[in-house]
Amino acid sequence: MNKLLTDKGIEELNEEIEQAKNTIEEGTRLRKEKLDHVKSLRLKIKSMSDEIEEMTSTIRQLEIECNEHLQENRTLDHRIRTVVLSITDDTRQKAINELVEKQSVFWTGLTKAITEAQDELDETTRAFVKLGDPAAAVDTMKSKYDHPKDFSREAVEIRSHVFNYTKLIEALCTSKIDGRTITISDTKGPQQYLKDVAYIPSVMKYWQN
């Protein structure tokens, strides 16, 4: 036969039951609070995730726009440098052209070279050759140079002499504009070339009759 509980035992068990109920109630309350907190945190995380995704999308778009600005700036910078170089080159070339125009033209220089060549001839040579007028000789050569359909050997040679002389003058003027050192010997180049041309047989025949 089971032993019956005493009143005190029953009272202790009831207290234990009450304490257990209170603990369960408190545990339930704490669990609900914590679950609510978890739910709140999850909602906050979702909100933050949406915000992060939005910010990430904004960052990507801003990066694309920044890259577009960079490319545009590079294009414009290249254009600026191209224009500046073009202006600089144009200004430089104009200065060279202006200086070239101030120099003695081929025909004037050749006339002077032929005159000097005739003046340098000694009396013995003068006694045996007949000299023509330097200006008339140059005019004859110039008429062949100016004739667009004259492709004879003489005309081609004359055009070659004009071209070479012009290049020598342009080289001098370019060096001057570019600030390079120019020696006296350099400046004598075009004149010496004309002196040499004056003594070329195909040219001499025009001033030695």
Q: In the predicted model, what is the mean pLDDT of the chain?
A: 89
For the chain, what is the radius of gyration of the CA atoms?
53
What are the residue ranges spanned by the domains of the chain?
Answer: 1-90, 103-207
End-to-end CA distance of the chain: 169
Write the pLDDT tens digit of every residue in 98-134: 999 888 889 999 999 999 999 988 888 888 888 999 9
Question: In the chain, pLDDT over 90 holds for what percent of residues?
Answer: 51
pTM beyond 0.75: the answer is: no
Query: Closest Cα partner for 112 from 191, 202, 184?
Result: 191
Residue 112 CB partners (closer than 8 Å, separation 6+):
104, 134, 194
